[in-house]
C-alpha cells in the first residue's frame, strides 16, 4: 500500500502582485511530478537548490495549492478535495519538519509548549498530565531529557533544536514524516548524529519518510528509493542502491560526480568542480519548456533534446546492456529504453 501518491503535480508562482498579476510572469516550480511512497518506506527527493523540492513537499500538505494534479493518501483519500475537518486530521498523519530549526521554533515558548501546540490544533484531546508524559517520552526518544521540557529553544544547540523539531513531528505518531533538508544547516559531525537518530526512529516506528536533500550521498545513506529533481521535474527514480551503482541520467551522474569529488563519470571528463554550468545558480524555468529541461547543460544533448520532452519511463536497460530493474525510471532519450 502507498502511504501517499502524487500524480502530475504542477505549481507555478506568479512573479507579479496586485494589478500586475494579470500580466503574470511565472516561475514553473513544479512541472508534472508523480511519485508514491510506500508504507515504512523512505523516499528521497534530491536536487540542487531551487529545483522544486520544498514546493513539492508543501503541495503534499496543502501549504500551497496545486495548480493541477492529484494527491491520494493511503490509497483512498483525495487530499486536494479535503474539507477543513478532514484536512486537520490529515495534517496529524503527515508531519513536516523544516530545514531551519532556529526559525521554526518559537524562542518565547517552552519546549513543552512547542511540542504540545500540535495537540491544541488537533482533533485529539488529551489532558495536561498525558500531554506532559507523552512530550517527555518523545523528547527522550530523540536523545534529550524529559526535564528539558521547561527550557526554551534558544538554550539549545543547532543539532539539539533539530531534535526538538523532530520530536514535535513525532508526537502525534504520524504515518508520514516529511524531513525538508533537516541536516543541511548542521555541521557534518552533527549531520551524522541526526541521520542516525532518524534511522533509529525508522526502525522503532512504523513510519514512512519523505526525505528532502540537495546532497545525493546523504539521501543514499538514509533512503530506500530516490527521485532526482531538476527544474521542477523528476529526471530519474530508482532504489537508492541501484542509483548508487548505475545512475543513468546525465544529471544524476553529474550530481554523483560532484558529491563524490573525484571519479567523474566518462560523460563529464572535466569534472563538475571545473564545470561553470554546474556552479551557476540554478534557474527555475520562466516558461513551459519545449525540450528536455537539462538540455542546456547536458553533454549528451542532441537536436531532438531541444525540441521534444522526454518522459519518465522504465529504464529498459543500462549502458552496458544488462537489464535495469523495473522500478528504475529515467527521463532521457539517450539513456531510456533502447
Ligand X SMILES: Nc1ncnc2c1ncn2[C@@H]1O[C@H](COP(=O)(O)OP(=O)(O)O)[C@@H](O)[C@H]1O
Cell of 257: 560526480
By beta-carbon proximity to ligand X, the closer residue of 63 and 241 is 63
Q: Least Å distance between CB 94 and Mg ion? A: 17
Which 241-300 residues touch ligand X, going by CB under 6 A? 284
Whose CA is closest to 171, among 276, 92, 60, 252?
92
Q: Least Å distance between CB 164 and Mg ion? A: 20
Number of residues that bind Mg ion (CB under 5 A): 1
Contact residue for Mg ion among 31, 54, 208, 318 (CB under 5 A): 54
By beta-carbon proximity to Mg ion, the closer residue of 54 and 160 is 54
| Candidate segments 53-61, 152-160, 219-227, 275-283, binder of Mg ion by CB under 5 A | 53-61
Q: Least Å distance between CB 236 and ligand SF4? A: 10
Whose cell is 510506500? That residue is 38
Which residues share a beta bridge with 293?
none
Which 194-253 residues touch Mg ion, going by CB under 5 A? none
Q: Least Å distance between CB 108 and ligand X? A: 26
Contact partners, residue 280, CB within 8 Å, separation at least 6 = none
The entry of Mg ion, ligand X, ligand SF4, none that residue 51 binds, CB within 5 to 8 Å by partner kind: ligand X
Contact mark string toward ligand X, 30..59, x via CB under 6 A: -----------------x-xxxxxxx----
Whose cell is 543513468? That residue is 248
Which 145-204 residues touch Mg ion, going by CB under 5 A? none
CB 283 within 8 A of CB 274: no
Whose CA is closest to 71, among 3, 1, 8, 6?
6
The entry of ligand X, ligand SF4, Mg ion, none that residue 87 binds, CB within 5 to 8 Å by partner kind: none
Cell of 171: 508526537
Q: Least Å distance between CB 101 and Mg ion? A: 15
Whose CA is closest to 30, among 51, 4, 58, 60?
51
The number of helix segments (H) and strand segments (E) in the chain equals: 12, 12
The entry of ligand SF4, ligand X, Mg ion, none that residue 301 binds, CB within 5 to 8 Å by partner kind: ligand SF4
CB 138 within 8 A of CB 197: no
Q: Least Å distance between CB 176 and ligand SF4? A: 31
Count Cβ atoms below 10 Å from residue 73 Cβ, excluding itself.
Answer: 20
Footprint on this chain of ligand SF4 (rule: CB under 6 A): 250, 292, 294-295, 298, 300-301, 305, 310, 332-334
Q: Least Å distance between CB 235 and ligand X? A: 13
281: left (phi over 0), alpha (psi -120 to 50) or beta: beta
- Output the CA torsion sign for 74, 165, 132, 122: negative
Amino acid at each position: 500500500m502507498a502511504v501517499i501518491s502524487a500524480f502530475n503535480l504542477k505549481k507555478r508562482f506568479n512573479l507579479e502582485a496586485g494589478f500586475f498579476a494579470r500580466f503574470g510572469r511565472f516561475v514553473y516550480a513544479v512541472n508534472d511530478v508523480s511519485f508514491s511512497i510506500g508504507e515504512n518506506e523512505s523516499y528521497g527527493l534530491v536536487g540542487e537548490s531551487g529545483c522544486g523540492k520544498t514546493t513539492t513537499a508543501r503541495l503534499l500538505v496543502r501549504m500551497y495549492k496545486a495548480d493541477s494534479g492529484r494527491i491520494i493518501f493511503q490509497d483512498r483519500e483525495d487530499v486536494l478535495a479535503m474539507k477543513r475537518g478532514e484536512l486537520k486530521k490529515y495534517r496529524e498523519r503527515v508531519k513536516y519538519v523544516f530545514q531551519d530549526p532556529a526559525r521554526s521554533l518559537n524562542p518565547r515558548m517552552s519546549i513543552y509548549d512547542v511540542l504540545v501546540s500540535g495537540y491544541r490544533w488537533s482533533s485529539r484531546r488529551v489532558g495536561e498530565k498525558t500531554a506532559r508524559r507523552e512530550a517527555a517520552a518523545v523528547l527522550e526518544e530523540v536523545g534529550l531529557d524529559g526535564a528539558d521540557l521547561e527550557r526554551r529553544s534558544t538554550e539549545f544547540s543547532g543539532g539539539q533544536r533539530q531534535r526538538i523539531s523532530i520530536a514535535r513531528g513525532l508526537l502525534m505518531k504520524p504515518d508520514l514524516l516529511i524531513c525538508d533538508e533537516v541536516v543541511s544547516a548542521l555541521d557534518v559531525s552533527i549531520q551524522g548524529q541526526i541521520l542516525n537518530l532518524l534511522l533509529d526512529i525508522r526502525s522503532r516506528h512504523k513510519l514512512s519518510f519523505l526525505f528532502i536533500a540537495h546532497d545525493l550521498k546523504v539521501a543514499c545513506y538514509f533512503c530506500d528509493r530516490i527521485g532526482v529533481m531538476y527544474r521542477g521535474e523528476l529526471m530519474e527514480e530508482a532504489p537508492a542502491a541501484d542509483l548508487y551503482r548505475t545512475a543513468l541520467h546525465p544529471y544524476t551522474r553529474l550530481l554523483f560526480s560532484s558529491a563524490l569529488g573525484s571519479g567523474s563519470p566518462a560523460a563529464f571528463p572535466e569534472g563538475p568542480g571545473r564545470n561553470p554550468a554546474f556552479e551557476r545558480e540554478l534557474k527555475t524555468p520562466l516558461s513551459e519548456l519545449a525540450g528536455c529541461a537539462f538540455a542546456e547543460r547536458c553533454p549528451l544533448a542532441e537536436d531532438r533534446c531541444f525540441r521534444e520532452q522526454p518522459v519518465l519511463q522504465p529504464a529498459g536497460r543500462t549502458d552496458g546492456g544488462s537489464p535495469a530493474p523495473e522500478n528504475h525510471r529515467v527521463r532521457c532519450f539517450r539513456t531510456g529504453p533502447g
